[in-house]
Amino acid sequence: MIGPAVGNDTTRPFTGRLKIDARLLLASVGWLPVVLVAGLVVVVVWLSFQVITPGQSANFGWRAYRELYGDPFVYQTLLNTGWFALLSVAVALFFGVVAAWLVERTDLPYKNVLFTLMTTGVLVQGFITAMGWVFLLHPRIGLMNKAIASIHGMEWATVDIATPMGMGVIQGLALAPLAFMMVAATFRSLDPALEEAAAVHGMGLISTLLRVTLPLAFPGILAAGIYISTIGIAAFDVPAIIGLPNRVFMFSTFLYFRVQPEFGAPRYDLAGAFSTLMIFLSLLLSWLYIQVVRYSHRYAVVTGRAYQPKPVELGRTAWLAWVFLGFYLLLGQILPTLVLLWNSLLPYFQPISWSSLDIISFSNYHNLPWSHLLESARNTGILMVSVASLTLAFSVAISWTVTRSDLAGRFVLDAGAFLPHAIPHVILAVGANYVALFLVGKALPIYGTIYILLALYVLAWMSFGTRVLNSAILQVHKELEEVGKVSGIPLLTCLRKILVPLIAPAMVNAWLWMALLSYRELTMASLLVTPHNLTFPVFIWSLWMEGSITRAAAASVLGLACMIPLVALYWVFGRRASGSDTAI
Amino acid sequence: MTGLSVRGLTKVFRTKSGSVHALRGIDMRVEPGEFCVLLGSSGSGKTTLLRCVAGLEKPDSGEIRLGDRIVFSDNPKTFVSAEDRGFGMVFQSYAIWPHMTVFENVALPLLHGKRKLLRQEVRGRVAHALRLVQLEGLQDRPAPQLSGGQQQRVALARALAVNAQALLMDEPLSNLDARLRESVRYEIRELAKKLNSTVLYVTHDQVEAMALADRILLIGEGRLLQSGRPHELYEKPIDPAVAEFLGTMNWLSGKIRERGFVQTELGLLRVHGAEKVGSELLLGIRPEDIRLKPVPSGEINEFRGEIVDNTYLGDHRLCKLKTPGKTMVAKLVGTDMGYGTVHFQVPEERIVVFHPNHKGKEESK
Ligand SMILES: Nc1ncnc2c1ncn2[C@@H]1O[C@H](COP(=O)(O)OP(=O)(O)OP(=O)(O)O)[C@@H](O)[C@H]1O
Ligand SMILES: [Mg+2]
């Protein structure tokens, strides 16, 4: 016995309170969002079989599918979506892979500046870039198009951005930072000895690159490509800003139009049928993605220490690399932002000229509907904090159950938590819209409140939260918790006192990232917003859709300005993101 | 202090690549206040057994009792979870919580464990535990700033501080360097004896086991091979595998020629208890039991051989003795005998005899 035998503490009976198994408690908390997501998917599929005839109760049948697949407009939409996704993957990979190689494998000067710009670029809202590009390349009034057309004989060279391919390029520019982060992670995990061996045996830079580095990185690049395609086929921001006003539809805007039609009744059955098709496609892509990722891990080196490989010396070609990168940054971030800024100062959209310098003013800012703006900003602020916190709490429960417990079904739980990664968010939003309006509307009047957005965002970011926490928990030695358990500390106390403090950096990182994702979210909100639960991105978008495009620009500038401190916060506290974990 | 008993314990791990029978029916006891060492080669199931006892792993069948209390049983189904069993445990990795100080590491189980103490009691208890492991004064040191040996002590202090029913240790010394290992080993035994603790200690190092144990439990492939005091296992192994595990053996196979005499690869050998003429035997002789002599002395069981290899190891030498039928290893303490022809004697009373139903490892030479 150690010390004064304090009481008879070895035999003190355990308190007779009703004992709830904390493991089961955690698991149930974890299962809740997973069941809800699965429920939304089921609802969407179920909707597709509904046959609604006015004045009669609903029947079930294949009508929606027959109507859908007999409609040339649907084929056009599918074709649009295909081109759009293809172009966005191509553009994103082109810039992303080159930039990743430059950062991870060469001695490019100022590479951390590039790294910073690229990582924060992930967070720039796609709809802001899209607005900028409309100002630049609008078929009739875009600044660049005007400039091109003003050169005699060059009229043919004007670009129509309101095409699937034009939008694909813009979306690709917006997705390039994500491709960069994923591919950079691949390059980082490649065994540098393989490249060095090639160099030692007399292979030059180019042939090493082509014959060793790229083939080795190929599975990782392929995985990034598949992942970006899943985003591409359902992306909403760019098609909503550029496509909708010009009546060029993609899958996501098709859904939006069927659920929130300008006139007539919503067609949930059609939305459901199209979504069902896309669910299959997305699940297929995700399955492929998982296979490829598994395959690509074969080449990864798992050394504890950071082994610094000798970088490729760019020497005097370094400036060329920066010209390339500058070109990307110009197209992807600088030009669209500048042109937004410029237009936010103009009373109406017009080309740049000396005369327009006389009329610049802050009137757009003055004339913003400030009460709406403040309300939407407040909603967005509440969402950021509550969504990030709740998602984190659910993610801890899920990840702990998956990685640490021996409960049956934990692998199903893990797969379920990955579901929102696979199923496009716009589809979940369709399901949530219907559920809130027609299924639980009476008992739980959450339609038109920010609670519906809160719930949906939590479900949507859950996959991101669990990916980050799974890997964080796996890095904590199991024995650190086990020793607590053996010395009598109850599970929940072990989590609070031991596990959570140890994974705190990852949790802070995930929290900030999810807060930022909630800040920029437009897709799901667009399907669920009413005048009573406006969010800031929807506020900007609705200004745009009603034609107040210079005021929309002003609001966007304000939005970007607000993001700077947020990103800085992320930079200071949360910068641990491993690229492949990042979800949009 | 409480004793510990295990009956018919089995554990199968089911993995994607098939099932691993980690424990195949273990029966064992640890008496109150006894220092028991689980010894076995890598993968023999020691850690699994210890984790089953601790409650970190759920066995498939059998029974585990802590004193009179059944903490696991397959019939009727009983499983007391780890936090309710009341052990103290030291892990191979030490599992020191890196975000806490030394004090907090020792105090956390006292503040939040099932056997909660009052706040003012905790300070005294922690101080006492740290004094026992000679870490007083390091209370406020953050855990990551400790050396390996100090972390090991903190882990020990934490396990001691809860006034555990029994202490479980899984290779607690394997991450220390050889010199430190020896001194800490000694301290652990001292402390356990001073506190009259019941200890179940896992190691794969037979020297460590012999130095620490009141009793060694030797396990192999998920079964208990033999248990007994260190010298019993060393001198009277019941199985060639046990004998081999505890130290090098010279193996001879032979047939009983007449009562007391066995024909072996060395020649005719006089052996105690060789009764049944015609039956086969396996004989083991430890290197240190072979007596080397420069000239023949005419004693029984004396043979001639040639030293073909002679390795200096500080306090002793290992010599390879070549004879026409067999090459033997002998341990030589004292004057070097160089190379070349020598005589050696195998003392009759030191020969370990295994009967043929013990088909054991035979040295292939
Ligand atoms: N969680 C597990 N899943 C599957 N198999 C396991 C697991 N834990 C242990 N095993 C297997 O059970 C057997 C016994 O393992 P155990 O860890 O008990 O060995 P050990 O005696 O402690 O070995 P060592 O001295 O190397 O620590 C081994 O074959 C091991 O591969
Ligand atoms: Mg072990």
Note the pLDDT tens digit of each residue in A135-152. Answer: 888 777 777 877 787 777
- Same domain flag for B166 and B85: yes
**What gap in Å lies between CA A331 and CA A175, rounded to an integer?**
12
How many domains are contained in chain B?
Answer: 2
> What's the rounded Cα separation, in Å, for the pair B31 and A388?
54
Per-residue confidence (pLDDT) for residue A185, from 0 to 100? 82
Show me where the domains of chain A are located. Answer: 32-299+315-578
> Measured between alpha carbons, how far apart are the two ends of chain A, in Å?
57
B2 confidence band (pLDDT: 50, 70, 90):
confident
Both tokens of residue A282? 């997305």
User: In the structure encoding, which two tokens stand for residue A510, read together?
Assistant: 């995930």
* Per-residue pLDDT reduced to its tens digit, B143-165: 989 998 899 999 999 999 988 88
Across the range A81-109, mean pLDDT stands at 91
The finding on whether B53 has its CB within 6 A of some atom of ligand 1 is: no
- Whether B57 and B204 map to the same domain: the answer is yes
Interchain proximity A6–B83, CB inside 8 Å: no
> And the tokens for A532?
């009573």
pLDDT at position A310: 67
Residue with the nearest Cα to atom 2 of ligand 1? B13
Q: Is the pLDDT of residue A8 over 60?
A: no
Contact B167, B200 (CB under 8 A): yes
Q: With an 8 Å Cβ cutoff, are A488 and B86 in contact?
A: yes
Which residue CA neighbors atom 12 of ligand 1 most closely?
A: B22
Q: Where among B244, B267, B282 does a domain terminate?
A: B244
The verdict on the CB of residue B203 being under 6 Å from ligand 1 is no
pLDDT band at B361, cuts 50/70/90?
Answer: very low
- What tokens does A357 get? 């310098």
A513-538 residue pLDDT tens: 899 889 989 999 999 988 889 999 99
Same domain, B295 and B189: no
Look at residue A301 in the predicted model and tell me its pLDDT.
52
Retrieve residue B337's tokens: 């005998």
> What length does chain A have?
584
* Same domain assignment for residues B35 and B63: yes
Lowest mean pLDDT among A49-58, A497-506, A535-544, B243-252: A49-58
Mean pLDDT of the region B229-252:
90
3-state helix, strand, coil in chain B (%, to 5): 25, 35, 40
Closest CA to A125 of A572, A504, A560: A560
The residue-averaged pLDDT of A41-67 equals 83
CATH number corresponding to A32-299+315-578? 1.10.3720.10
**What's residue A369's pLDDT?**
92
Q: Per the domain annotation, does B360 fall within a domain? A: no
Per-residue pLDDT tens over the stretch B9-27: 999 999 888 899 999 999 9
A492, closest residue in chain B (CA to CA): B112
| A484 near B CB under 8 A | yes
Sheet holding B261-263, edge to edge: B268-270, B261-263, B250-258, B280-285, B352-354
Distance in angstroms (rounded) separating the CA atoms of residues A397 and A419: 17
With a cut of 90, say whether residue A121 has pLDDT above it. no
Tell me whether the omega of the peptide bond preceding residue B76 falls within 30 degrees of 0, making it cis. yes
CB A37 within 8 A of CB A462: yes
Q: Which residue has the higher pLDDT, A10 or B47?
A: B47
Please write down the HEC assignment for all residues of A142-211: CHHHHHHHHCCCCHHHCCCCCCHHHHHHHHHHHHHHHHHHHHHHHHHHECHHHHHHHHHCCCCHHHHHHH
Identify whether residues B18 and B67 lie together within a single domain: yes
Q: How far is B173 from chain A (nearest CA, A)?
A: 16
Is residue B176 included in any domain, yes or no? yes
The conformational region for residue A227 under phi > 0 = left, psi -120 to 50 = alpha, else beta, is: alpha
A160 pLDDT band, cuts 50/70/90, is confident
Indicate which CATH number applies to the domain containing B8: 3.40.50.300
Beta bridge partners of B309: B320
Q: What pLDDT is attached to residue A55? A: 67
CA distance A18 to chain B (A): 15
Residues 177-196 of B with CB under 8 A from A: 195
Residue pLDDT, tens place only, B164-215: 889 999 999 988 888 888 888 999 999 999 999 999 999 999 999 999 999 9
pLDDT in tens, A232-248: 998 999 999 999 888 89
Pair (B295, B340) in one structural domain: yes
The answer to whether the CB atoms of A1 and B195 lie below 8 A apart is yes
Q: Do A488 and B160 touch (CB under 8 A)?
A: no
Q: Minimal Cα–Cα distance from A6 to chain B, Å?
A: 8
CA dihedral A146, A151, A152, A155 (to 10 degrees): -40
Q: Which residue of B has its CA nearest to A4?
A: B125
pLDDT tens column, A323-338: 999 999 998 888 888 9
Among B209, B244, B279, the domain boundary falls at: B244
Cβ of B204 below 6 Å from ligand 1:
yes
pLDDT score of A172: 94
Q: Which residues does residue B199 pair with via DSSP β-bridges, in sequence order?
A: B35, B167
Name the nearest CA neighbour of A417 among A471, A473, A461: A461
Residue A113 pLDDT: 80
Residues B215 and B317 in one domain: no
pLDDT, residue A444, reads 86
For A437-472, how does the pLDDT look when each residue is reduced to its tens digit (9 = 90+)?
Answer: 888 878 888 898 999 999 999 999 999 999 899 989
For B254, residues 6+ apart whose C-beta sits below 8 A from its C-beta are: B262, B263, B264, B265, B269, B280, B281, B283
Q: Return the amino acid letter for A399.
A: S
- Max avg pLDDT among A44-58, A112-126, A525-539: A525-539
Compute the nearest-CA separation of A445 from chain B (Å): 42
Task: Output the CA angle A100-A227-A405, nearest 5 degrees.
Answer: 105
**B241 near B40, Cβ under 8 Å?**
no
What are the beta bridge partners of residue B15?
B18
Asked if B51 and B29 sit in the same domain, the reply is yes
Dihedral, CA of residue B126, residue B132, residue B137 and residue B140, to nearest 10? -40
Enter the DSSP assignment of A303: -
Residue nearest to atom 25 of ligand 1 (CA): B42
Mutate to test the interface with B, among A486, A494, A497, A498 (most CBs of B within 10 A): A486
Six token digits for residue A481:
């918790």
- Dmax (CA) of chain A: 99
B330 shares a domain with B237? no
Question: Could you read off the pLDDT of B272-324 as tens digits, one per residue?
Answer: 877 888 888 899 999 999 998 888 888 888 998 999 998 988 889 999 999 98
- Average pLDDT of the segment spanning A311-330: 85
Largest CA distance in chain B: 77
Mean pLDDT, to the nearest integer, of A312-317? 77
Q: For residue B49, what pLDDT is reported?
A: 96
Give B218's pLDDT tier (boundaries 50, 70, 90): very high
> Which residues from chain B sit within 8 angstroms of residue A1, using beta carbons?
163, 195
β-bridge mates for residue B70, sequence order: B65
Range of the structural domain that residue B46 is part of: 4-244
In sequence order, the 6+-apart residues with CB closer than 8 A to the CB of B204 are B39, B40, B41, B42, B44, B46, B171
Residues B264 and B298 in one domain: yes
pLDDT at B230: 94
Nearest CA of chain A to the CA of B88: how many Å?
6
The tens digit of pLDDT for each residue in A340-375 reads 998 898 887 776 667 777 778 888 898 899 999 999
pLDDT given at position A147: 78
Tell me if B40 CB under 6 Å of ligand 1: yes
The pLDDT, as a whole number, for residue A575 is 56
Give the pLDDT confidence score for residue A10 in this predicted structure: 41
**Could you identify the residue written with the tokens 């005699």?**
A152
Q: What is the pLDDT of residue A304?
A: 42
Instruction: Characterize the bridge pairing of strands B69-74 and B61-66.
Output: antiparallel
CATH of the domain at B272: 2.40.50.140
**B340 inside 8 A of chain A by CB:** no
Residue B363 lies in a domain: no
Using alpha carbons, select from A164, A156, A178, A171 the residue that is nearest to residue A97. Answer: A178
User: What does the alpha-carbon distance between residue A85 and residue A272 come to, in Å, rounded to a whole number?
Assistant: 21
Indicate if ligand 1 lies below 6 Å from the C-beta of B19: no
Residue where the block lists tokens 């970006």: A228
Is the CB of residue B291 less than 8 Å from the CB of residue B347?
Answer: yes
A11 has a pLDDT exceeding 50: no
pLDDT score for A298: 66
DSSP A299: G
Look at residues B191, B225, B244 and tell me which one is the last residue of a structural domain. Answer: B244
How far is residue A517's CA from residue A533's CA, in Å, rounded to a whole number?
18
Residue of chain B minimizing CA distance to A502: B99
The best mutation among B17, B20, B91 to test binding of ligand 1, ranked by most ligand atoms within 8 Å of the C-beta, falls on B20
In a domain, B349, yes or no: yes
Q: Specify the residue with its C-alpha closest to ligand 1, atom 8.
A: B48
Tell me the pLDDT band of A19, cut-offs 50, 70 and 90: low
φ, ψ of residue A184 to 5 degrees: the values are: -60, -40
Q: pLDDT tens-digit profile of B34-68?
A: 999 999 999 999 999 999 999 999 999 999 999 99
Residue A531, CA atoms < 13 Å, CB-side half-sphere = 2
Average pLDDT score over chain A: 84
Q: Which atom of ligand 1 is nearest to the CA of B48?
A: 18
Same domain, yes or no: B258 and B341: yes
**Is B86 in Cβ contact with A485 (below 8 Å)?**
no
The pLDDT value recorded for residue B364 is: 35
Average pLDDT, stretch A566-578? 65
CA of A542 to the centre of ligand 2 (A): 63
Tens digit of each residue's pLDDT (9 = 90 or more) over A220-232: 899 889 989 988 9
Cα B137 from Cα B153, distance rounded (Å): 13
Determine the average pLDDT of the residues in B111-116: 85
Proportion of chain A in helix, strand, coil states, percent, rounded to 5: 75, 0, 25
Do residue B294 and residue B260 come from a single domain?
A: yes
Q: Is B94 helix (H, G, I), strand (E, B) or coil?
A: coil
